[in-house]
Amino acid sequence: MANYVIRRLLMIIPIIFGILFLTFLIKALIPTDAVSALFSGTVSEDKAAEAIAQIREKYHLDLPWYRQFGIYVWDVMHLDLGESVRTRQPVIDEIGFRYVNTLILAFSALIVAIVVGLVTGMLSAYFKNTWIDVTSMSVGMMGISMPAFFLGFVLIFIFSVQLRWLPVIGRGDFQSLILPALTLGFIEAAALSRVTRSSMLDVLSREYIRTARAKGMSESYILFRHALPNAFLSILTMIGLQIGNLLGGAFIIEVIFGWHGIGELAVKAIQWRDFTITQAVILVSAGTYVFVNLIVDLLYTWVDPRISYEE
Amino acid sequence: MKLQKLTQMGLASAVALFVASGANAETLRFRLGEDPESLYNVETNSLTANTVIASYLLERLVYFDKNGDAKPWLAESWELNEAQTEITFKLRNGITFHDGEPFNADAVVYHFNTILAPESASPHLASMGPLTSIEALDDLTVKFTFSEPYAPFFNELAGATGGFNSPKAVEAAGSGYGRAPVGTGPYMIDQWIPGTEIKFVRNDNYHEQFRGDAVNKGAPHAEEILLSVISEDGVAQAALEAGELSASMLLSDTIAQFMDHPDFNTVIDETATNLMFLEFNHQKAPFDDVNMRKAIGYAIDRESALAAAWDGFGTAALGPLALGIPGFDGEVAAKYGTPYDPEKAKAILDDLGWVDSDGDGIRDKDGKPAEFLIKGYAGYAHSSRTLQVIQANLAQIGINVTLETADWGAFYPSLLDDGWDMDLMRWTARDAGILGELFRSPGHRQKLPANAPLDDLLTRCNSTVDPAARNECVSEAQRMLLENVTIVPIMSNWTVIATQGNVKDYTIDRMGYLIPGDVRIED
């Protein structure tokens, strides 16, 4: 186990290096030079030439690419993500609070998704082919098919415009969190519910469940102690994927509900041609994804001790 | 028991929730389309940042009244020397910045010297033109010296660029100043949650409002102004309907729903400073021929384009200068413009030898069909809809065009290459100097052939400081641009704003900025 953890951690190093190289390339792949983007408002550029030269020097754009890459890796290792081209503020300041917002929204949505998804999935499996099953699966199908922005606007219309219970304008507080967390949570719950249902159905038809029932065990004991843990492996895989998704930032949800996370920042940074921010957002999202994958892999061995990575 | 307690707690927090979101009559809530990158006018030049800076925080030496004439604001008066290369301003006495520092000649000198310093990398450097030095003659007198007369300077003085920051605060805050600006304006910055909202509080030590176009001469009415970042128009609409916004600028698609609504008012600013126009690659046949360009001009149905692009919230344009820019000459536009007349367009094409000889519906000449490429910028409905109208208009006169759009950052530089015939362009400017910047040869995209009379005229317009003489010069330039059909003007769109019914005196000034001290909420 310890061996596995160490090996798994060592594997992260080349991955991180690869991510660094790819994010570094972003600067080269952006169609217009970020510096001239800064001056796109001015027509006659002869006078701005000197200012442009100053900025090129500041962002090391005058150096060969391998030296730029070296400086970049060195800075990132020192947690220096540079300065935003657009706001001239440290990138850490721009991205930090948005990352925290994304974490808060992702985990709130995840809680909604797990509670709703597991409960409806288990009920559907247990009451297979009854009205409970049909209803929850139909609602789930709607959840999967419905675009996030549509559900978001419907909820805003009902709870903010008509009932006026919750604010339209996001201010980063708890009230502003409710609608985006529900919207995102329901959409993720729909997929989770279907996975839960099918893997529970699979487990419930196994012989050891029949044996447990024959022994006269209570239904809830069977469901929670025998069935769920065995069905949990595929559910965990699904949850792992969803966390990765959610932490990448949910751009549309963030924009509609004014919840300022890194999804929104990523899209805006590209529009603004702010390459330092773009680089940082991708670096942070990719890093998070790697980290979440690691945790899920480690959880597998805990959920199912039969899975052993020892050779 | 436990359940009861939980219910009570739930109720209590629900009550707290309503109290918290209850609208404070003393707070005005406005929308920001995006988070400004910085509120330091030396280092920023975006439309959003300029609007926030100029509306609430910083005041200028002069403002433009409804007729577009410069009037004194923080300046008491000014005079020009004979050669029109020196402007000396007398400043008002007793004005202080939000931090208590005095506003004086040193503050003015500090501001413009910072813009001129190359290490500031200020995007306003280019617009300072031939400004060479600024000096304080005494505590309240300041002299600007130019290497040659420079008329657009008053526009810079009246815009966000010309707003004054407390030098002490700039020095103290260093690179963080853009988040904590200190001016002399009616509101002071209180809190900025990046990406979310900016809160201003009333400047209770506000000196008198010296602007002649302001209704309220004293301290502003509202205690607080909250600007919320809302990028989506649909969200702004919902926020207005829910009463969470006092006013919001909207797209013309959205504004229609507020037009006849009893609970809302609409403010429409028709003094547009933007112009959408069709440009030609003058170096490539057949658009090197003025008659060919003229035919295109007559073929464009501007009213249809306006209806498609802006739901009619705009003005069809025949002249090459936006109607809200001082110097715009409507008579010249009507007399020398090319109003929609497809028959005339067809006749010109016939004369030029462009006829449909093979009966396929597309004209041809010397075996070459009339097929051209129009480039445009992507991502905006107004642009794509206008392009479609143009395509249909040209098809009507037997010209087949292909549309090619790309993001502005790719589109604009691509016009320096040769592979295009026409492009759809849109510029916003506040000064007639824009004509020189865009159309003095070789032009902003390097495609205009030398045209000595026009080039000289455009240069002369910029160095004519006297407003009346300058307007005459600008009229002449508009006439020459139309006769040469350098571009085909299409339309200018208006700024449209919806406000709650009880919001009064929401006025946009000639520069497009709000006069926030006037806005009040009627009980």
pLDDT in tens, B10-64: 444 443 443 334 344 589 999 998 889 899 999 888 888 999 999 999 999 999 9
Written as six digits, the tokens of A195 are 């996975």
Q: Where are the alpha helices (H) located in A146-227, listed in sequence order?
A: 148-155, 174-204, 207-214, 219-221
Kindly state whether B241 is in contact with chain A, defined as any CB-CB distance less than 8 angstroms: yes
Which helix (H) or strand (E) segment holds residue B256: the answer is: helix B252-259
Length of chain A in residues, anyone? 311
Name the residue with higher pLDDT: A7 or B203.
B203
With contact defined as beta carbons under 8 Å apart, do B145 and B132 qualify? yes
Task: Give the number of other CB atoms < 10 A from CB of residue A144.
Answer: 13
**DSSP code of residue B429:** -
Residue among A31, A42, A272 minimizing CB distance to B410: A31
Chain B residues with CB-CB distance to A269 below 8 A:
none
With contact defined as beta carbons under 8 Å apart, do A251 and A266 qualify? yes
Q: Which residues of chain B have pLDDT under 70?
A: 1-25
Kindly state whether B196 is in contact with chain A, defined as any CB-CB distance less than 8 angstroms: yes
Length of chain B in residues, anyone? 523
Chain B residues with CB-CB distance to A47 below 8 A:
125-126, 128
Task: Give the number of other CB atoms < 10 A from CB of residue A13.
Answer: 9
Task: Give the number of other CB atoms < 10 A from CB of residue B355.
Answer: 15
**Shortest distance, CA B129 to any CA of chain A (angstroms):** 8
**pLDDT at res. A64:** 81
Query: Left, alpha or beta for B299 (phi > 0: left; psi -120 to 50: alpha)?
Result: alpha
**DSSP code of residue B121:** -
Amino acid at B238: A
Whole-number Å distance between alpha carbons of A58 and A133: 62
Q: Do B437 and A44 touch (CB under 8 A)?
A: yes
Written as six digits, the tokens of B142 are 């300041």
Q: Do B238 and A160 touch (CB under 8 A)?
A: yes
Percent of chain A with pLDDT over 90: 22
With contact defined as beta carbons under 8 Å apart, do B218 and B68 qualify? no
Kindly state whether A98 is in contact with chain B, defined as any CB-CB distance less than 8 angstroms: yes
**pLDDT at res. B468:** 85
Residue among A89, A157, A273 minimizing CB distance to B238: A157
pLDDT tens digits, one per residue of B185-243: 999 999 998 888 999 999 999 999 999 999 999 999 999 999 999 988 889 999 999 99
Put simply, the chain B residues between 321 and 380 with a CB less than 8 A from any chain A CB are: none
Name the residue with higher pLDDT: A275 or B144.
B144
**Shortest distance, CA B175 to any CA of chain A (angstroms):** 7
Kindly state whether A61 is in contact with chain B, defined as any CB-CB distance less than 8 angstroms: no
CA neighbor of B466 nearest in space, from B118, B22, B151: B151
Written as six digits, the tokens of B190 are 């209180």
Task: Indicate the class that CATH gives domain A97-303.
Answer: mainly alpha
Percent of chain B with pLDDT over 90: 75
Whole-number Å distance between alpha carbons of B391 and B376: 12
Give the confidence band of A271 by pLDDT, cuts at 50, 70, 90: confident
Written as six digits, the tokens of B245 are 């916004």
**Shortest distance, CA A159 to any CA of chain B (angstroms):** 10
Q: Where are the domains of chain A?
A: 97-303
Residue among B38, B229, B408 minimizing CB distance to A258: B229
**pLDDT at res. A41:** 45
Which helix (H) or strand (E) segment holds residue B108: the answer is: helix B105-116
Residue among A97, A153, A272 minimizing CB distance to B194: A97
Residues 6+ apart with CB under 8 A from A211: none
CA angle B495, B500, B506 (to 5 degrees): 50
ipTM > 0.85 for the complex? no
Which helix (H) or strand (E) segment holds residue A113: the answer is: helix A91-126
Q: Do B125 and A48 touch (CB under 8 A)?
A: yes
Name the residue with higher pLDDT: B67 or A43.
B67
Instruction: Give yes or no for residue A245 having a pLDDT over 50.
Output: yes
Kindly state whether B404 is in contact with chain A, defined as any CB-CB distance less than 8 angstroms: no
pLDDT tens digits, one per residue of A60-82: 777 788 888 888 888 888 888 88
> Exposed/middle/buried for B64, CB within 10 Å: 0-12, 13-18, 19+?
buried
The overall average pLDDT reported for chain A is: 83
Residues 6+ apart with CB under 8 A from B449: B282, B283, B288, B441, B442
Instruction: Give yes or no for residue A1 having a pLDDT over 70.
Output: no
Site from B28, B29, B37 to mutate, A interface, most A CB atoms within 10 angstroms = B37
Chain A residues with CB-CB distance to B444 below 8 A:
43
> Exposed/middle/buried for A149, CB within 10 Å: 0-12, 13-18, 19+?
middle
**pLDDT at res. B10:** 43
Q: Which residue has the tokens 């002649």?
A: B212
